[in-house]
């Protein structure tokens, strides 16, 4: 089954705003999602949580549930990987420090790409790209591609990647993010869970099994890039290996022309219930040695609250 869009409660755990490479501002995204019947959403911008504070307030106003999220860039050998993090404490100082490292690396990479473009007579300027993008901490190749199309150096977004900044092209620059174990660890240490995003892009079954050794909590099963067979494979892989599932539209908007995906690629509430259950069990295990004797249960009014629980739950 390619999507679960027939279910009554629509949950989209993979979306982007203008704080990374999306085309819509935070409130515009939430309104679009609500209009598409989405009841629970996670904004998973690349290497930034800048949308979350505004989303926290506005989701309450319009009666939507918000799951704190992020998409963290990683690399293993020659494969670029993305990890979706959910329900983490986005005020955690160590988490924010590691995030700053990723953002600094993004700026450095953008400078190198633009320098290579300049050498092949495309006079793009970093300042102009940043100004147009409206972001300062999650600049990426999509922002450069959008600017090149706007200034007439290419006719389409896809052309920019195929001709200039894709892998093996004259202005390509590899990024150097954290290895998978560090990406997974930074989310875990902030109290959250990590999922491998859109595995069909780059991941073999062997690599999936290697990532399980690093403490991966789950994989993205529902995604627009997955074929029906791929979705079935990842769903079975998750069940066979007792890991969690997530999914969503990976909505960006703009030149990506993916408007039809919003409201179509959604997941069942039971998947989120299992995610919450794992978080609660983890908190119980962390709490028990401090407050309970071996084998005792947590009771008598003891509260275990998730730092990254639903925000704006209606």
- The residue out of 115, 131, 165 marking a domain boundary is 165
| pLDDT in 10s for each residue of the chain, 314 residues | 333 444 468 999 999 999 998 989 999 999 999 999 999 999 999 999 999 999 999 999 999 999 999 999 998 877 789 999 999 999 999 999 999 999 998 889 999 999 999 999 999 998 888 887 776 668 889 889 989 999 999 999 899 999 999 989 999 998 877 899 999 999 999 999 999 999 987 778 888 999 999 999 999 999 999 999 999 999 999 999 999 999 999 999 987 779 999 999 999 999 999 999 999 988 765 644 443 333 333 333 333 344 444 544 43
Domain that holds residue 118: 102-165
Q: Assess if residue 301 is contained within a domain.
A: no
What residues contact residue 252 under an 8 Å CB cut-off, 6+ apart? Answer: 16, 21, 22, 23, 142, 258
What angle is formed at CA 64 by the lines to CA 57 and CA 19, rounded to 5 degrees? 55
Q: Are 20 and 45 in contact (CB under 8 A)?
A: yes
Do residues 63 and 183 both lie within one domain?
yes
Do residues 82 and 145 both lie within one domain?
no
Q: Assess if residue 118 is contained within a domain.
A: yes
What angle is formed at CA 93 by the lines to CA 87 and CA 94, rounded to 5 degrees? 85
Do residues 155 and 187 both lie within one domain?
no
Q: Assess if residue 242 is contained within a domain.
A: yes
Q: Assess if residue 1 is contained within a domain.
A: no
- The residue out of 145, 165, 185 marking a domain boundary is 165
Q: Assess if residue 140 is contained within a domain.
A: yes
| pLDDT for the residue numbered 128 | 87
What is the tally of structural domains in the chain?
2
| pLDDT for the residue numbered 286 | 61
| pLDDT for the residue numbered 293 | 36
What residues contact residue 158 under an 8 Å CB cut-off, 6+ apart? Answer: none
Do residues 124 and 185 both lie within one domain?
no
Q: What are the residues facing 69 on neighbouring strands?
A: 86
- The residue out of 138, 165, 192 marking a domain boundary is 165
Do residues 18 and 106 both lie within one domain?
no
Q: Assess if residue 304 is contained within a domain.
A: no
| pLDDT for the residue numbered 298 | 33
Q: Assess if residue 311 is contained within a domain.
A: no
Do residues 149 and 226 both lie within one domain?
no
Do residues 184 and 275 both lie within one domain?
yes
Q: What are the residues facing 218 on neighbouring strands?
A: 195, 244
pTM comes to: 0.83
Q: Assess if residue 154 is contained within a domain.
A: yes
What residues contact residue 46 under an 8 Å CB cut-off, 6+ apart? Answer: 16, 20, 21, 71, 72, 73, 82, 138, 140
CATH number at residue 26: 3.20.20.140
171-198 burial, b at 16+ Cβ within 10 Å, e below that, comes to bebebebbebeebbbbbbebbbbbbbbb
3-state secondary structure the chain: CCCCCCCCCEEEEEECCCCCCCCCCHHHHHHHHHHCCEEEEEECCECCCCCHHHHHHHHHHHCCEEEEEEEEEEEECCEEEEEEEECCCCCCHHHHHHHHHHHHHHHHHHHHHHHHHHHCCCCCCHHHHHHHHCCCCCCCHHHHHHHHHHCCCCCCHHHHHHHHHCCCCCCCCCCCCECHHHHHHHHHHCCCEEEECCHHHCCCHHHHHHHHCCCCCEEEEECCCCCHHHHHHHHHHHHHCCCEEEECCCECCHHHCCHHHCCCCCECHHHHHHHHHHHHHHHHHHHHHHHCCCCCCCCCCCCCCCCCCCECCC
Q: How far apart are CA 192 and CA 267, in angstroms?
A: 19
Do residues 185 and 275 both lie within one domain?
yes
Do residues 64 and 134 both lie within one domain?
no
Q: CA dist 137 to 19, 108, 133, 200, 272, Å?
A: 8, 11, 11, 27, 29
Do residues 74 and 136 both lie within one domain?
no
Q: How far apart are CA 113 and CA 130, in angstroms?
A: 14
Q: How far apart are CA 147 and CA 125, in angstroms?
A: 10
Do residues 129 and 268 both lie within one domain?
no
Do residues 110 and 208 both lie within one domain?
no
């Amino acid at each position: 089954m390619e999507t679960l869009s027939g279910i009554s409660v629509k949950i989209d755990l993979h979306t982007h705003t203008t704080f990374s490479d999306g085309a819509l501002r935070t409130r515009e995204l939430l309104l679009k999602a609500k209009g598409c019947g989405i009841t629970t959403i996670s904004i998973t911008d690349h290497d930034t949580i800048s949308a979350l504070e505004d989303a926290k307030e506005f989701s309450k106003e319009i009666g939507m549930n918000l799951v704190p999220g992020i998409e963290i860039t990683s690399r293993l050998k020659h494969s670029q990987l993305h990890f979706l993090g959910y329900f983490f404490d986005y005020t955690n100082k160590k988490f924010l420090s590691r995030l700053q490292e990723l953002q600094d690396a993004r700026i450095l990479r953008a400078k190198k790409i633009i320098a290579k473009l300049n050498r092949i007579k495309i006079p793009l300027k970093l300042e102009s790209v940043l100004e147009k993008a409206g972001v300062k901490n999650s600049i990426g190749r999509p922002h450069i591609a959008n600017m090149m199309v706007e200034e007439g150096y290419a006719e389409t977004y896809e052309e920019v990647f195929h001709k200039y900044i894709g892998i093996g092209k004259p202005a390509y620059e590899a990024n150097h993010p954290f290895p998978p174990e560090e990406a997974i660890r930074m989310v875990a240490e902030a109290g959250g869970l990590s999922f491998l995003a859109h595995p069909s892009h780059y991941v073999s079954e062997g690599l999936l099994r290697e990532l399980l050794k690093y403490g991966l909590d789950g994989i993205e099963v529902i995604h627009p890039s997955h074929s029906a067979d791929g979705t079935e494979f990842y769903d079975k892989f998750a069940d066979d290996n007792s890991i969690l599932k997530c999914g969503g539209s990976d909505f960006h908007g703009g030149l990506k022309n993916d408007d039809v995906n919003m409201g179509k690629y959604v997941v069942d509430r039971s998947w989120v219930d299992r995610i919450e259950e794992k978080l609660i069990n983890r908190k119980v295990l962390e709490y028990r040695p401090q407050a309970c004797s071996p084998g005792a249960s947590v009771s008598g009014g003891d509260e275990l609250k998730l730092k990254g629980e639903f925000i704006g739950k209606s």
